[in-house]
Chain A
Amino acid sequence: MAKAAWPEEGKRRHIGRRIDRIDGAEKVTGAAKYSYDINRPGMLWAQLVTSPHALAEIESIDTSAAKALKGVEAVWTDPDLDKVQYIGQIVAAVAAVTEEIAEEATRLVKVKYNPLKHQVVDSDPALSQGEPSKREQGDVEKAFADPGLVVTAGDYGIPVITHCCLEPHGQVTEIRDGELHVWPSTQNVSRYSDRLGDAVDIPQNKIHVETQYMGGGFGSKFGFDAWGMIGAVLSKQTGKPVKLMLNRATELETAGNRPSAFAKIKVGLQQDGLIAVVDAEIWGSGGGGGYNPPPVPYVFTKVPNTRVIGKGIRTNRGGQRAWRAPNHPQGCFLTMSALEDAAAALNMDALDFFLRNVQLTDRPEVYAEELQIAADLIGYRRKAHLRGDKNAGPVKRGLGISMHTWGGRGHPSECDVTINSDGSVEAKIGSQDLGTGTRTVIDIVVAETLGLPLDAVKVSLGKNAYPASGASGGSTTVGGVSTSARNAATDALNALLAMVGRRIGIDADALEAKDGRIQEISKPDNSLSWRDACALLGPNSITKRGINTPNESEAQGMISSGVGGVQMADVSVDIETGVVSINEVIAVQDCGLIIDLKTAESQVYGALIMGVTFALYEECIYDAITGRMLNADMEFYRLAGLSDIGKLKVHMMTGKGYADRGVIGLGEPPAISPGAAISNAVANAIGVRVPHLPLTPDRVIAALQKGGIA
């Protein structure tokens, strides 16, 4: 009997190697069809009318001129909508025979608004509503009373940023023979359509969801959203397929939004650098909804005395969505900045300081090891200096450190593996590949289990018709799908071995699948090819369902959770212009058993690049007076380009103590630290904290004017 447990090191054929993603060729040739690329016969294009006001009553909507335009087939409005609460909120939608006509028609929809006084400012704690929340451990007041402590206080802030997925949110919808077909850009194929049918009276069992390729989600694409419902209604009204994708401005205003976090943080250190107390007041906004202050102190959860007062500010801005490691980049930036400021006040080297305090984390040995590795990779001891680069000249150089953590436990997942009598193999799973390499991971696991080459296995995913698998969020996918695929493939193999064993008169337990053959474990020469073995199945193929039940799989060592990572940044700051440039960023990351080293490393590189982007450039800039987002486009909502990222190095923790923990997710953790590491490096270079991200030249200059070495 083959066992589901992961094969030991040395016995792995595919797992842990650098393997090209299996859908790479489709993507680089433009053959991959994303949701945005689905063109159906007779399809209409829909465009949205969105609110230009951050808060307004709707007095009337006149759609007659839009309806009269030649080529317009349907106009959607919501009779119950009497108020808009943010810029970009959907007010009406038009479906027309071409995209251009639909767009023109949106301009003919006349909406009469009665603008009300809006509130879009999220950086002023005085604007918060309701009772502040409070988290406390130990006794903060008493701790600060210790006269031996070195106490520092500072202001910090990290703004609202938006996901800016290159493929916007949206979908193609079609109602055919009373059944609803949807091709959405989603991270959640299996559960995307729950309740989508309500608006068009179609039950869940008649809704077909398919997403083969999607262009980025980062936490923002779990539900069908208003546009999904509108697309279904327009399809029903017109009897035709409808493509509705958000335009760039609406995408940036309404379909993203990582909540902001501003803070006053007071830190007390013992003379030897050990953290004794952290006291934080945090405020911020995630739009119109509630606010959950980020975890502070982050990573150093065993600091004996901590307090967080949280104040939410409701704003007339698009609602918040999960953003790669929800609340962690904020908590990390606030914590690591405040701690590094405290270490600097003590004139303590930052690396010594973090090493001194690893005992206050959940995983001291891991962090200590990772700090050492990162320090070696960046040449820390050679380059490091205390706050303020004392070299002459306008360009100052500095190093910064940050640490982070994440769960990453595999989600519930089911997968079917079929072995056909011609030897072909298929895995079917209601998961999705966001570009993380999910298809490839499933292929690797099934091929490994069956002793086959990668191209012997076909991976079918991206449909809700397949066995249900969780949403791809929170770094839960790789653990979920690799375990369900492994379980399914193992059961299918055991069924095959049992049948083959009966036919050739050898106990199934004495057989194994290896290198494309079924062989006797003790006498490998006694074997038959995979094809011949499968031919013995006759007309009966084998299909087995594998399930990942997280608690059980964790107990069996298939998956685990809780990873630590360390990042270090080396930056140069021009103190005449305030421009920060990245020389190098190092990521040291553990993630348990790595299935595909190549795509795993890509995840970390990608996270670093996203991190450089939010450290240096990203911010949704709102104008208090008009309530508008001033940079709802890609010129001024700036993403890092190829020339902005410096040199990046990724080190994955593998081998003993890491790989034997089972599979753990990787998408979120490396995206957490860059903001903090880069901010700390800038402070180290110029001798003063630039309190708010992104580290734009104006902010750097303002900080220099207050202090530092300029």
Chain B
Amino acid sequence: MAFLFIAPWFRPRLPSDRLNTQTSKISCAKSPVVLENPSSIEPEVNHQSGVPRPDAFLLLVEYSEFHPIKRKATMTEKTNVPKIPAVSRRGFLKGIGIGTAATGLAAAVKPIAEAAENDSNVRGPGEVPIVLKINGKNRTLNVEPRVTLLDALRNRLDLTGAKKVCDRGTCGACTVLLDGKPIYSCSMLAVEAEGSAITTIEGIGTPVKMNFVQKSFVHNDAQQCGFCTPGFVMASTVFLEKHPNPTPEEIRFALGGNLCRCGTYAGIQEVATSAMKGGA
């Protein structure tokens, strides 16, 4: 069995609310992470287990329920339109052509041009019309298939609450909800989100009508520059709705997939703890 050794100071980051997710392969936040060859733990079915990002093999450690993918550069992506709740890892591995030795999938990978000719589901290159259901409303827009959900929201629809920070699934600033589950919108293509209900930060509250988590963020001053804040609010809202009485460990674990540079974690912990006390 192959082992992958991760630099000792490397700590995998996961999308928020990972409490029910398959993270058992990750031994400990700060100790060296030894992971089985991901191909050997490849799930056969699409059970919404996440997929790793293609940009570094090390990132295969990120293995969670909601994890979407990023395939910005893929012009002719085979997508099972119209609805893909999450792309299976197997599908993903096909797409980038790795993991083949272990899974024997090499033969299954069609050259892209061939796929484009033969498969009516192939879209692009060039802009394609899509309909995204965002905050309860259908929005029609034209995007190239390589456009991420985040860029579609920010650049085409002027929904700028979700922020672009790392653009590769590390920081959580771009968190939105896809069918109620938090995802990193920088790591999903807009075309893949068709058919799902997307909720952005703009959809959960307004300055005059904040939700309970937003109020608590203000009250506990869980923000400074505020650039990470929408992502944290999204993650916390889903987490606290599901776990109204979280333990400190659960809080640390669930919100560990978001990063803040100004250092607002003390306030964010307060948000979660006061929710626990019923005071959020």
CB neighbours of A36 from chain B (8 A): 160, 163-164
> A213–B163 Cα gap in the complex (Å)?
13
Instruction: Verify B210–A29 contact, CB threshold 8 A.
Output: yes
- Are A166 and B9 also in contact (CB < 8 A) when A33-B160, A99-B155 are? no
Which listed residue (B9, B13, B223, B269) contacts A27, Cβ 8 A?
B223
Cβ contacts A346-369/B at 8 Å (1 or 0 each): 000000000000000000000000
Rounded to whole Å, the gap between the CB of B246 and the closest CB of chain A is 12
- The distance from the CB of A213 to the nearest CB of chain B, in whole angstroms, is 7
- Are B229 and A27 touching (Cβ within 8 A)? yes
How distant is B170 from chain A, measured CB to nearest CB, in Å?
A: 4
Question: Residue B261 contacts which of A99, A577, A639 (CB distance < 8 angstroms)?
Answer: A639
Complex CA gap A142/B206 in Å reads 69
Complex Cα gap A218–B253 (Å): 28
Task: Count B-side interface residues using an 8 Å CB cutoff.
Answer: 75
B255 CB–A CB distance under 8 Å: yes
Q: How close is A251's CB to chain B, nearest CB, in angstroms?
A: 10
Chain B residue nearest to A698 (CB atoms) is B8
- Write the chain B residue with the least CB distance to A613: B263
Are A610 and B263 in contact, with the CB atoms below 8 A? yes
Q: B256 at interface (Cβ–Cβ under 8 A)? A: yes
Contacts of A181 in B (CB 8 A): none
Tell me whether B259 and A639 are in contact (CB under 8 A). Answer: yes
Check if B265 sits within 8 Å of A609, measured CB to CB: yes
B100: CB under 8 A from chain A? Answer: no
Residues of chain B contacted by A578 (CB below 8 angstroms): 8
Name the segment of A257-265, A446-454, A640-648, A683-691 touching the other chain. Answer: A640-648
Give residues in B with beta carbon < 8 Å to A: 7-11, 13, 29-32, 56, 58-59, 72, 144, 146-147, 151, 154-155, 158-168, 170-171, 173, 200-202, 204-208, 210, 214, 217-219, 221, 223-230, 233, 251-253, 255-269
B170 — which chain A residues lie within 8 A by C-beta? Answer: 633-635
Task: Provide the bound-state CA to CA distance between A404 and B256, in Å.
Answer: 31
B264 near A45 (CB under 8 angstroms)?
no
A20 to B8 CA separation, bound complex (whole angstroms): 40
Q: Is there an interface contact between A643 and B223, defined as CB atoms closer than 8 Å?
A: no
Cα separation A601 to B255 with both chains bound (whole Å): 22
Q: Which residues of A contact B30 (CB under 8 A)?
A: 579, 581, 644, 697
List chain B residues, Cβ under 8 A from A34. 160, 163, 227
The smallest beta-carbon distance between B106 and chain A, in angstroms, is 28
Give the chain B neighbours of A617 by CB distance below 8 A: 9
Determine the distance from Cα of A644 to Cα of B29 in the docked complex, in whole angstroms: 9
Closest CB pairs A-B (n = 8):
A30-B161, A609-B263, A215-B227, A435-B225, A606-B263, A27-B226, A435-B224, A37-B160
Count A-side interface residues using an 8 Å CB cutoff. Answer: 70
Nearest-Cβ distance from residue B242 to partner chain A, whole angstroms: 17
Give the nearest-CB partner of A19 in chain B. Answer: B221
**Which residues of A are at the interface with B, using a C-beta cutoff of 8 A?**
20-21, 23-34, 36-37, 39, 45, 98-100, 164-167, 213-216, 218, 247-248, 434-436, 574, 577-579, 581, 598-599, 601-603, 605-610, 613, 617, 633-636, 638-645, 648, 694, 696-698
Cβ-defined contact, B225 with A598, below 8 A: no
Q: Is the CB of B221 within 8 A of A166?
A: no
| Cα–Cα, bound, A164→B259 (Å) | 11
B261 touches A599 (CB 8 A): no
Q: Are A100 and B146 in contact (CB under 8 A)?
A: yes
CB-nearest residue of chain A relative to B9?
Answer: A696
Contacts of A642 in B (CB 8 A): 251-252, 255-256, 258, 265, 268-269
Q: Is the Cβ of B11 less than 8 Å from the Cβ of A638?
A: yes
Most chain A CB within a 10 A radius of its CB, from B30, B58, B158: B30
By a CB distance below 8 angstroms, the chain B residues around A613 are 263
- The distance in angstroms between the C-alpha atoms of A435 and B226, with both chains bound, is 7
Cα separation A643 to B248 with both chains bound (whole Å): 10
B260: which of A30, A166, A434, A599 is its contact (CB, 8 Å)? A166
B-side contacts of A37, CB under 8 Å: 154, 160
- A697: chain B residues at CB < 8 Å are 8-9, 30-32
Cα separation A189 to B167 with both chains bound (whole Å): 28
Give min CB distance, A223 to chain B, whole Å. 19
Q: Is the CB of A30 within 8 A of B256?
A: no
B159 cross-chain contacts in A, Cβ below 8 A: 30
Q: Do B162 and A30 touch across chains, with their CB atoms under 8 A apart?
A: yes
Indicate the member of B253, B263, B267 with the most A CB atoms within 10 Å: B263
Identify the interface centre among B72, B160, B167: most chain A CB within 10 Å of its CB: B160
Chain A residues lying within 8 Å of B223, measured Cβ to Cβ, are 21, 24, 27-28, 435
- Answer whether A635 and B58 are a contact pair too, CB < 8 Å, given A34-B227, A36-B164: yes
Residues of B contacting A247 in the complex (Cβ-Cβ under 8 angstroms): 167
Q: Contact between B228 and A29 (Cβ–Cβ < 8 Å)?
A: no
Q: Within the assembled complex, what's the spacing in Å between the Cα atoms of A20 and B207?
A: 14
Whole-angstrom distance from the CB of B68 to the nearest CB of chain A? 16
* CB atoms of A31 and B206 under 8 A apart: yes
Instruction: List chain A residues, Cβ under 8 A from B31.
Output: 574, 577, 579, 697
Cβ-defined contact, B206 with A602, below 8 A: no
A25-B214, A598-B221, A605-B267 given as contacts; is B253 within 8 A of A643 (CB)? yes
B155 touches A634 (CB 8 A): no
Inter-chain contact A21/B218, CB cutoff 8 Å: yes
Give the docked Cα–Cα distance between A608 and B224 (Å): 14
With a CB–CB cut-off of 8 A, which chain B residues contact A696?
Answer: 8-9
